[in-house]
Amino acid sequence: MTARVLTGSKQEIAQKVANLPGEVREAIVFVEESTDLGSRGGESSVEVAREAEDIFAEMEPYMVHVGDVDDSREALYTRQEGE
């Protein structure tokens, strides 16, 4: 099994998915939220935050864990010795 990243408009992505051989088991869709987080069908902003955490909890087995890494913006854009 291989994972594929599809880009384009909704229609283009839908067409690409429809043309894929095999079955589609899962999709990740990013939906823009309104500025009022509590406006989603009576859900509080705490419930929405928990839902977002659950999404990342599902991905936990696929994440890479390394020791103490400085991933701050400054560290990312500062050349290290030998670069």
SS (H, E, C) 7-68: CCCHHHHHHHHHHCCCCCCCCCCCCCCCCCHHHCCCCCHHHHHHHHHHHHHHHHHHCCCCCC
Residue 21: inside a domain, yes or no? yes
Q: Could you list the residue range(s) of the whole structural domain that residue 51 is in?
A: 10-67
Averaged pLDDT score across all residues of the chain: 78
% of residues, the chain, pLDDT over 90:
11
Residue 3: inside a domain, yes or no? no
Residue 14: inside a domain, yes or no? yes
Residue 42: inside a domain, yes or no? yes
Number of domains in the chain: 1
Under 8 Å between Cβ of 21 and 15: no
The end-to-end CA distance of the chain, in Å, is: 37
- Overall pTM > 0.85: no
Tokens of 20: 């894929």
Summarize pLDDT for 7-46 with one digit per residue, the tens: 889 899 999 989 988 888 888 888 777 665 444 555 555 6
Q: What is the pLDDT at residue 66?
A: 80
